Structure 1
Amino acid sequence: MIALDPSIKRHRTADVTLTLTSPDGTPLAGHEVVVAQRDHKFLFGCIGFGLIPFVNGELAGEEAAAAEREAERWLELFNFATLPFYWGDFEPVRGRPGTARVLTAARWFAERGCVVKGHPLAWHTVTADWLMAMPNEDIARAQVARIVRETTDFAGVIDMWDVINEVVIMPIFDKYDNGITRICRDMGRIPMVRMVFEAAREANPRATLLLNDFDMSAAYECLIEGVLEAGIKIDALGLQSHMHQGYWGEEKTLATIDRFARYGLPIHFTESTLLSGHLMPPEIVDLNDYQIPEWPSTSEGEARQADEMTRHYTTLLSHPAVAAITYWGMSDQGSWLGAPSGFLRADGTPKPSYDALRGLVKGAWWLPPTKLTTDGSGRVTFSGFLGAYEVTTPASTATVQVDTPGDTDLRLTV
């Protein structure tokens, strides 16, 4: 293994002693084996929104070919997909949810070894317009029913959810009226969180449930503390990091992680972006307010993005509290706010950031096929990142999961 950041080596790798035995328990002494990494334990994620038409067979010709190339690049880099469940888009007409289309996409990712997450089950933005004609009590019942339906219908394929999104601003959101802000204002943030988490937990007890927010101020910390003091069980904290106004830098990133790591919950960087064009002006408060006709990727910006991507991912991997990072968009085509934030340009060609991250995820942080020979006790030793490893002997192939950093003893029957 090449030289690593000491924190990454300490928290993300293992020195494995693997004992191989035959089915009757006899050590396989003096056997040549090949050990190859097949997956990371760490969740390297990206949204899969743009691939939904492709996996549902809705494209043809060059559109289908371009989407297939994007899908191949997506799968080469990521093991964790986030799919959209924005209520207003998912169920624009009450009682007619888009379950089949999204479920097809979820299965496509899952069949290719990806963990799949749904985003979000409750949010005041892109929520269903038809809620507005209902009294608050009925809106709350409809929200719970929607959560139960989705977590039940997708169970076994999607067992991870951003349950509620951006609660800090939810009851005071004033861009436009909507049903979810109404009920959150009526019942309060913590009762709202309790309602949606309990509905999701009861419907799918094995699901991993996240609280997600963009507000990295003390207000989010106060919310988390209130939620935990109220006895509401959450499984992970989602931190958004849309860096349209510039890279946070290592110091700010680590300080932010430390502030939220004190709750003892795994941290997911749920929405990360870094730009390869000009940065959004610093005076913009709500990123959604910056709407321009064109926002091109530039050579200078692409070099900067590649450098910042390497630094950002290295920083996140160095902190033991971080369990996942989801990048918010594979391509500039259809990107959020039209920003040049993707790994691919609008024409589908990869930017330097794609190659830079691939050089980490499947290079510096990856063990390629390695030939080893067992000793007299059937043992081989290797060092690698936590994750799944395929072990091949002349007679068979088996998989072993390396989940614990440091010195690790494992046994495998092959």
Structure 2
Amino acid sequence: MSRAKLSANFLKVMLISFLTISSGLAFDPLKSADDRISKYRMREVIVQLKDQKGTPIKNSPVKVNMLRHQFLFGCNFYLFEQFPSAEQNQKYLKLWSQLFNYATVPFYFQQYESKPGQTQEAQLREMVKFCQKNHIKIKGHPLVWHFPNGNPEWLPNDPKPVEDILKNRILELVSGFPEIDYWDVVNEPTVSWVFDTPVAKWENQEGPIPACKKALKWAETANPKAHLIINDYNVRFGYWSFIGIFSLKKTIQLIFDP
């Protein structure tokens, strides 16, 4: 490839990456929120009411109570059975289930398996059972996280065995909890480079995109029907920079090895 062609292609790559990053900065999701609510969350319907014989009911007053809906509204469910008295626990469950239909349940590696093979599975299964009984959708959070909460003390510092451990963890949890509808498979991958934990070392050695791809593939193998999520708080400049840098790296590779 000639130097002139290489330079031209490189400039294209830089422009694409800049536009990718700047588009993230310019986008304000709140400005178009009402339009998206009307488009994606509302619709006109015709409901025909019939009596027990199947005859349409005419000119009768109708009272409608909404029992469930598709819109997921929730928060963490971490205080399940954590209050000092049974009365307080019951009040928490009653108030929580009256308001929310979407529960995030904790699978933080450090707490879930503080020692190899000693897990909080029994407690998590009780949480899942309650959610199912009350028609609450469930999200498991998180499977892979570079933060100390995602790194039990027994994890080795070598990325290779860490990858094997993470793979087994994902396969076991996602297949073992098929009732869980959603999984935060990788948590906050845009900032793993800041940390030096065993999981961070694996993510940084692999690179954020390849690490996410591997983790998602393991989870998909364990439960193809689950909704698999890359969870991140850094969704403005940091996220678009992350994607832009990945696009830049991948495109440069294509330039040198088309």
TM-score range relative to shorter protein: 0.7 to 0.9
How far is the alpha carbon of 1:217 from its aligned partner? Answer: 3.7
| 1:163 counterpart residue number | 185
| 1:39 counterpart residue number | 68
How far is the alpha carbon of 1:160 from its aligned partner? Answer: 0.3
Is 2:97 the counterpart of 1:75? yes
| 2:175 counterpart residue number | 152
Is 2:234 the counterpart of 1:211? no
| 2:219 counterpart residue number | 200
How far is the alpha carbon of 1:33 from its aligned partner? Answer: 4.6
The normalised TM-score by structure 2 is 0.74
Indicate if the aligned counterparts of 2:81 and 2:89 stay in contact, CA closer than 8 A.
no
Secondary structure of the 1:95 match is coil
How far is the alpha carbon of 1:47 from its aligned partner? Answer: 0.6
Unaligned runs of 5+ in 2: 1-32, 251-258
Indicate if the aligned counterparts of 1:124 and 1:180 stay in contact, CA closer than 8 A.
yes
| 1:184 counterpart residue number | 203
How far is the alpha carbon of 1:35 from its aligned partner? Answer: 2.3
| 2:162 counterpart residue number | 139
Indicate if the aligned counterparts of 1:147 and 1:199 stay in contact, CA closer than 8 A.
yes
| 1:95 counterpart residue number | 117
Secondary structure of the 1:67 match is helix
| 2:41 counterpart residue number | 12
Q: In structure 2, what residue type is equivalent to 1:72? A: K
Task: Select which of 111, 132, 144 maps to 1:122.
Answer: 144
Indicate if the aligned counterparts of 1:165 and 1:211 stay in contact, CA closer than 8 A.
yes
Correspondence 1:168-317 to 2 at 5 A: 168-173=190-195, 177-224=196-243, 226=246
Indicate if the aligned counterparts of 1:172 and 1:185 stay in contact, CA closer than 8 A.
no
How far is the alpha carbon of 1:222 from its aligned partner? Answer: 3.9
1:6/1:214 CA distance change after superposition, 3 Å: closer
Secondary structure of the 1:161 match is strand
1:211/1:69 CA distance change after superposition, 3 Å: same
Indicate if the aligned counterparts of 1:86 and 1:119 stay in contact, CA closer than 8 A.
yes
For residues 148-197 of structure 1, the C-alpha deviation after alignment (integer angstroms, 9 at most, x for no partner) is 11101110x21201111111111332xxx421011112111111001100
Indicate if the aligned counterparts of 1:140 and 1:183 stay in contact, CA closer than 8 A.
yes
How far is the alpha carbon of 1:52 from its aligned partner? Answer: 4.0
Secondary structure of the 1:163 match is strand
Structure 2 Cα separation of the partners of residues 52 and 171 of structure 1: 36
Indicate if the aligned counterparts of 1:52 and 1:101 stay in contact, CA closer than 8 A.
no
1:23/1:138 CA distance change after superposition, 3 Å: farther
Unaligned runs of 5+ in 1: 231-414
Structure 1 Cα separation of the partners of residues 81 and 142 of structure 2: 17
Larger Cα Rg: Structure 1 or Structure 2? 2
- Structure with greater proportional helix content: 2
For residues 1-57 of structure 1, the C-alpha deviation after alignment (integer angstroms, 9 at most, x for no partner) is xxxx96445543333211234688654455665422112321110110011446xxx
**Count of residue correspondences:** 213
| 2:255 counterpart residue number | none
The normalised TM-score by structure 1 is 0.47
Indicate if the aligned counterparts of 1:43 and 1:80 stay in contact, CA closer than 8 A.
yes
1:24/1:84 CA distance change after superposition, 3 Å: same
Secondary structure of the 1:39 match is coil
Indicate if the aligned counterparts of 2:170 and 2:215 stay in contact, CA closer than 8 A.
yes
User: Identity over the aligned pairs, expressed in percent?
Assistant: 30
1:16/1:115 CA distance change after superposition, 3 Å: same
Is 2:130 the counterpart of 1:111? no
Indicate if the aligned counterparts of 1:129 and 1:178 stay in contact, CA closer than 8 A.
no
Structure 1 Cα separation of the partners of residues 186 and 60 of structure 2: 52
Structure 2 Cα separation of the partners of residues 6 and 81 of structure 1: 25
What RMSD in Å do the two structures reach over aligned CA positions? 2.6
